[in-house]
Structure 1
Amino acid sequence: MADCEPYDRGQVLGSNLLIPRVGVADQGNYSCVADFRRFNRRWRVSRTRRVRVFIVPPNEKPPTVLLPLKNTTVEAEIGQRLQLLCLAFFGYDVSRVPLLYWLVDGYFVEDVYNASDVWEHQARVVNESYGERYVQRLLEFRSVTELHLGPEFTCVAQNAFGFTNASILIVRKEPPPSHTAAVAGSLLGSLALLLLLAGLLYARRIDLLLFYRDHHHHLHPSSSNAADGKEYDAYVSFCTECPSPGEEEFALKLLPQVLEGELGYRLCLLDRDILPGGGLLGKL
């Protein structure tokens, strides 16, 4: 029923009402009425829906290409599979089939590339509201090559009132930089630094040893035996028959004072450490 009157301009299909061509006269309140019996009584239920009819003026403009944006680029790696999307708005135009296609530098795709390498998908309506349609068409590349870098790919949308287009370029996408060289350089730099440090330590080993003994000579008293089993570090020899001026004082006083007293070395002095008649070679 429509506005509480029987409605005969439609066709009932199961529980649905089909109106072949909606007009302004079809606007109103539609009620679905069902009768049933329960407990020996006859019952009636109904549900009402209001239908409003909108009059959409016919589209008298060329369609609008929404994607791709004009004069844009897309990055792609050589060998990758790629799809370019063309999306256009055709407005309300039920009497015509939307015309949407791709061009390559002004030529049809099939005239430029092999159909197994580059091809167009069928155009399809992706959204329709009150007769206004959004149509898309894909251009697919099986594997991007050098031949696809540079040509201008143009999406064209056309109806009886004109056409619009938008172009896109494919540019090479450089692979991400490898960090192998940086890691290798870092490792080589660290190795070079370690070698330099080792060389410096080896070259200054005597100075380091003297520094250690200078600050820790109390740990190595001259009367104690070293871990190497040696009783002395050095034997002081000088001419006792006819010493030059200051030689005896240097050997017997200054050397022990500095080397033993300050640096912790153990000196063997003939007159001090070797008993008369003792074996000199055994001390050496």
Structure 2
Amino acid sequence: MIINVAKLDDVKRGITCNSRTNSANQVCGMARSWRGGPENVLVVGLLMLLLSHVLTGEKIFNIVAGHAMLLVCPGAEGYNVTWRREDAPPLDALPGMELRDNALWFLPARPEHSGVYVCSVEYAIKIRLNVGSQPCPEADRDVDERLHTHAWLNCAMGHISRVFTPTSITWMKECKCVERADSMDLEFLQLKQTDAGNYTCVLNFTYEGNNYTSARTTQLVLQEIYEPKKPLIKVPVNETRVVDMGSRQDLRCEATSDEEDVTKIWWQVNGTFIMYPDSDFNISKVDFRKTNVNTLTIYKVQPKFLNVPFVCTAQNNMGDVKSTVVLVQANHRHFYWLIALVCLSGLVMVCLLLCWFFKVDLVLFYRSHCIGRPKHSDGKQYDAYVSYPCEGQGDSMALTFALRVLPEVLENKHGYKLFIRGRDDNPGDEVFDVIEDALKRSRRFIIVLDETQTDTNTGAETKANTHVQTATHTETRISLLAQPATRTETPMLLDAHTHADAHLVPRAAGSEHFEWSVGVYEALICSGPKVIIVQTGESSTGNSLPLSLQTHTHSKRTLRWTKHTQAYSNRRFWKEMRYLMPVTQRPSHNTSSA
């Protein structure tokens, strides 16, 4: 094989590597960098084979219909060139196209000019011409540049500018005019990511008195500039770790790098390298792709390891970086204070709950053991005024409780002084005057209510105390205090000192209602005796009481007493009764509790 080295040099100078394939660009780069001589015949031959493969590859030109275009056979300057059209119609049948000076002239190009043209010298080169109708031609070549660099973008139509002198040059990006363009090369002082895109170079020239336009589009592709960097330590980041004495600690050092398998990591403590396991430490390493991990395990934290830096160092070809871990002993004082505070709060809550549930017992205990004999200066003579229902048939539970049970416990066992009308007033006294005067001289007002019995057959309620029913419909106003009471024939009242069915004493009708009205008035308006309501029997709705008394029964807990309750319930009842009563004025003769 005879190789013309001089001709090969001409071919190399005439090559335009505008192919959009990587293999073609690589071969063109090899051709440009070749510096062979006649003695390297074998190398030249191999390179010629590669070049012939590239040169016979298909080249692409994209233009717009109506624009002028010249197709020049690459590397064939000074040689006879043969042109042909690969597909129909043949060259001589295409209007608007001429063959001048070994080049194909399209003045201007038409859509029917699209096709594959083949030029031949000693080799064949295929050139595909695409004639479109869009405003700007599509990109037919790529230019790769790096970000943040200074660069020039060439118009890539030097074969036209060498033949025709351009009258004007315009650069467009994405088919929009770029104001700063005024030459065949577009300058970028510092490439930014926004500079990437399609750039169209538009040439205007005159030929034989006619104005023509030619344009070509280049795609600018930007790539990041790779700069080797020092490794980056992700963990730890100058950490201070709180530890307990004697605990096991794992100190993990993780570093990443742009380079693979070139990062080294090691630990130091007090300037001493920890490279191998010993009685105090263990070293474990794991290497991933671009990531290295070195874990230092401290078997048992000792005082010598506290408040000293454990330094992790990561190193590659660009340098090293360091990060430290300092161990400090945990201070549990705040935790202990928190535990103590929680316990104290819990103890206070328990004490409050106990005081709430046992407040009656605590108050009675305090009265019995912590205070002496009280000396009242309020001018009161009685500890309580007892109001009870007096009308009805037979021995009712309320009557028994008021005349027998209540005096027996409060007076005989606990030393209270009660006023019970019919027992403590004088015969012939004005009843209403006695009631009003006794209520004013009493510290408490005890109202005893009788049980309510329901007729299951008729659904109607009947009261053991018929006077309570009368009071429901004829509620006495506060004005009764200022009006004289009407004297009527008195019903019969049981004597408090005898059995309920033994003796009867007279009482004025309506006196109970008057007692309630005066007592409630004194309690609500005049800060008089406090009201204590005792319900005898199993149930009572309280709807048959005057409105003022109903207010007391709803706003205050009503004490309930029955004959047949357990001993504990009775004891609890009397404790609550004594809790609501004032402190006794005289010591009890019988200290046993009810």
Category of TM-score, reference length = shorter chain: 0.3 to 0.5
Normalised by the length of structure 2, the TM-score is: 0.25
Normalised by the length of structure 1, the TM-score is: 0.47
Structure having the higher strand fraction is 1
Higher RCO, Cα 8 Å, sep 6+: 1
